[in-house]
Structure 1
Amino acid sequence: MLRAVGSELDVDAQLVKLQNRKTSQKYQKTKRINRTKEGAVTMPPCAALSLVGLLLLTLASSEPADPSLDDLTNRNADFGTRLYGAVSRRTDDNVFLSTFTLSAALLALLGAANGPTRDQLLQGLTLTGLDPQTLPDLFQTLSAGVQQGSAAMTLKQGVAMFPAQGIQVSPSYLDLLQTKFGGSVKSLAYATPPEAADAINVWAQEVTGDEVQDLVPDPDPQTQLLLATAAAYNVRFSPSFNKSLTQDERFYVGKYHVVMVPMMFRSDKYFLAYDRSLKAGVLKLPMAGGAAMLVVLPDEDVDITTVEEEVTGEKIQAWIRQLKKTKLEVQLPRFLLEQSYSLRDVLQTLDITQVFQDDADISNMGGAEGLKLTQVYHKSRVSVAENDDITAGGGASVFSSLPPRLTVNRPFLFIVYETASRALLAMGRVIDPSSK
């Protein structure tokens, strides 16, 4: 095992351990890139790279200029991780949530609420103590920074309210929804559920460029109000992985379940951290457009759910501060996740209940007295692959000595955030990259 001496890495031990590879002619640079095909390196869980010895944890951060915006960013991250935890505990499969899109939707709902309903929403969204009147402007500022780089990151998202036909929405609330949260409103005739579902699904396709489809099943004919969210991420790493270096490798879904997946490859300088308390490594992969992905890989003897349970907004910020640059070869599976959720029951586990009940007060929307929320639908899609355009340094850097290799070949978490504000954008869990 690699070891750390005091606060400094034992570099010699690191090189001896991690570069225990043959030095014959077949390991020259041209073949080193493709050595896995030749059978020279295999990465079962027991041989996975130990990250402990790679790292020297250091602090490196910049303070956001606006304390109020910083506070909202942190609280959004807290809510996003809590929501992710509530969803992930209900399934053993892949998970993906666009937490930023859901925050926008629920903040828009907060703008419609009054009285105890509003107070409960503030508490459930971890926003207690903040002025509800200032939140739309703050979120608009935060969202503008995210959207500025989203064209390169290729984030497409949408938020919409779908009240039942005959329920009026005030012009002031419509303006709030559109200008502050980028949302829209459309009344639907739920008495004919298939037609209502078609209208919502068409909306989802439009806001995501046809990437999110079949957002909702046929809704309840008694529906009063639906809140719908859709998001699609086409992740573009910068620097990129090169398709020509991708090759099929084993991914260990479980002790007795192995799948073959396309494993991307790049050799470069990466930022890395290690959480000793959770026994998990954290790799930062920069994305085009000012975002980044954290890949959280538990040690081979650590169950991924034990790491998930400890992920908070504060924990993510700590990981980011502890990142340390190191030379590294990275193998990451190509994957595509597409997940759909009905979140009413999930939100109720987070103590957001009254808005769904008969005594809900969402009168700021301007609708009929007694209006309540029926359901919250969310569908998100993320595609992680090599870039077709590899002109921005795609491929592999050449080092004078062979760097350590990190192969992500067992279940892992990933977190997408905007680097300038550190706003949490999305979270996911990859149990099986060969399955959506």
Structure 2
Amino acid sequence: MLMVGLISLLLLRVCGCRVADAPDDVTAEFSVRLYHQLQMVGGEEDNIIFSPLSVAVALGMVELGARGSSLEQIRQAVGYSHFREDEEFSALRNLTQALAADEAQYVVRLANSLFLQTGVSFSPDFLRLMKHYFHAEAETVDFSEAAAAAEHINTWVQNHTESKIHDLVSPDDFSSMTRITLVNAVYFRGSWKNQFRPENTRTFSFSKDDGSEVQTLMMYQQGDFYYGEFSDGTTEAGGVYQVLEMPYEGEDLSMTIVLPRQEVPLATLEPIIKAQLLEDWANNVKKQKVEVYLPRFKVEQRIDLRDNLQQLGIKNIFTKDADLSAMMGKELFIGKAVQKAYLEVTEEGAEGAAGSGMIALTRTLVLYPQVMADHPFFFVIRNRKTGSILFMGRVMNPEVVEPFDHDFDSV
């Protein structure tokens, strides 16, 4: 299992948990709202993969330099309004430190960097707080040399994501007016606690919501997982749907899969997804033996966050009304916000050989619950101790095995 999320915030100068006692993720509501926004402006059959944690950390870095309405819009949208002043920065630092604490079981790497225009003075307090809360080191580049700046930043990104993220920025992103670029990378590599055996993987039909079918490699195992069947009490979600939580080695992190009935399009289930429902799923699934059919898939998505964040109420930082005066004066605004996320799901957590042929399905004499992910599903990767969401998305088409690039436009 490999996952990478990365967000870049480009600033310009203005001309003139499952465990019951786990703490709630304060950004969960923001994460779900952003998911629904991406769902709304994307294609009906598009996969979605993004990192809410990466977005929260990047916005936290901007928030350190924001004042006035620019600061309040971030705090309100992300969910920090009830925090005391600056308390969210300690919370973000604690979340990221908890994720990176134990590389013996899995690898979570969070890397932050500031790329500053050579010769421009920035607030020493801002730079000090960036290093204190986010361990962000500052480097100077000359953005007027756009090609060299883009190459330097993209190399940094590749080095911190084990070369999974390429070409985050391009020379066209920079000009002589660019003053600072903030980059945040989140990289996760983990193995399932209960691994799939590669010899059980077979070619299988996956039914898309548009009625078509694609051939995919379907993994199979029977094992002990956290499982539950839920209903919203109406017909909106097509009645009962399945929730399966699959822990990674060490059990601090897990992937939760939400699967509607075969005949129910995922779009029918998606409207009921709320932050509280994520917590309800985590707290109410029970450990039991389950038969799991899960497709192998690998997707990469590039999301232009500027318009989407504005729709969620974070507006000023992207305009000339921005007040980022704690960085270097009132002459900055964010010209670009982009995230790239990478997700790979395999039998063991790394590429493995797969068998060929069609698997024979027997739905009679089933002794255990059966999760057959041969149609679109929603997923969340979260820390079971802190509740923080590393990745969220949906799989509409597992046939997409090569990275693709999709920019969302404003609605």
The TM-score range, normalised by the shorter chain, is: 0.7 to 0.9
State the alpha-carbon separation in 2 of the partners of residues 79 and 159 from structure 1: 21
Code of the residue aligned with 1:282 in structure 2: it is: V
The list of structure 1 runs, each at least 4 consecutive aligned residues, that deviate by more than 6 angstroms after superposition, is none
| One of 113, 125, 136 as aligned partner of 1:172 | 125
Deviation at 1:420, TM superposition (A): 1.2
Code of the residue aligned with 1:95 in structure 2: it is: I
Residue 325 to residue 79, structure 1, CA distance change in 2 (3 Å)? same
Code of the residue aligned with 1:79 in structure 2: it is: F
Deviation at 1:185, TM superposition (A): 3.2
| One of 11, 27, 30 as aligned partner of 1:79 | 30
Q: Which runs of 5+ in 1 are unaligned?
A: 1-59, 65-69, 390-399
1:330 is aligned to: 292
Deviation at 1:149, TM superposition (A): 3.7
What is the SS of the residue equivalent to 2:59?
helix
State the alpha-carbon separation in 1 of the partners of residues 179 and 326 from structure 2: 15
| Alignment of 1:62 onto 2:23 | no
Q: Deviations over 1:93-121 (max 9, x none)?
A: 11111111211111121111112211111
| One of 368, 373, 378 as aligned partner of 1:408 | 373
Q: How does 1:268-417 map to 2 (within 5 A)?
A: 268-277=223-232, 278=237, 279=239, 280-289=241-250, 290-365=252-327, 367-387=328-348, 402-417=367-382
Tell me which moved more, 176-185 or 123-132: 176-185
What is the SS of the residue equivalent to 2:37?
helix
TM-score, length-scaled by structure 2:
0.81
Residue 223 to residue 253, structure 1, CA distance change in 2 (3 Å)? farther
State the alpha-carbon separation in 2 of the partners of residues 193 and 200 from structure 1: 11
Deviation at 1:200, TM superposition (A): 1.9
- Overall identity of the aligned pairs, in %: 26
Q: How does 1:59-208 map to 2 (within 5 A)?
A: 61-64=19-22, 70=23, 73-92=24-43, 93-149=46-102, 152-208=105-161
Q: Deviations over 1:223-279 (max 9, x none)?
A: 344333333333421111111211111111234421111111111122112221134
The answer on whether the counterparts of 1:78 and 1:126 sit within 8 Å (CA) in structure 2 is yes
RMSD: 2.3
State the alpha-carbon separation in 1 of the partners of residues 374 and 366 from structure 2: 24
Residue 306 to residue 245, structure 1, CA distance change in 2 (3 Å)? same
Q: Deviations over 1:286-311 (max 9, x none)?
A: 11241001001112232212322332
| One of 181, 191, 195 as aligned partner of 1:236 | 191
1:266 is aligned to: 221
Code of the residue aligned with 1:301 in structure 2: it is: E
Aligned length: 359
More strand by share: 2
Deviation at 1:220, TM superposition (A): 4.1
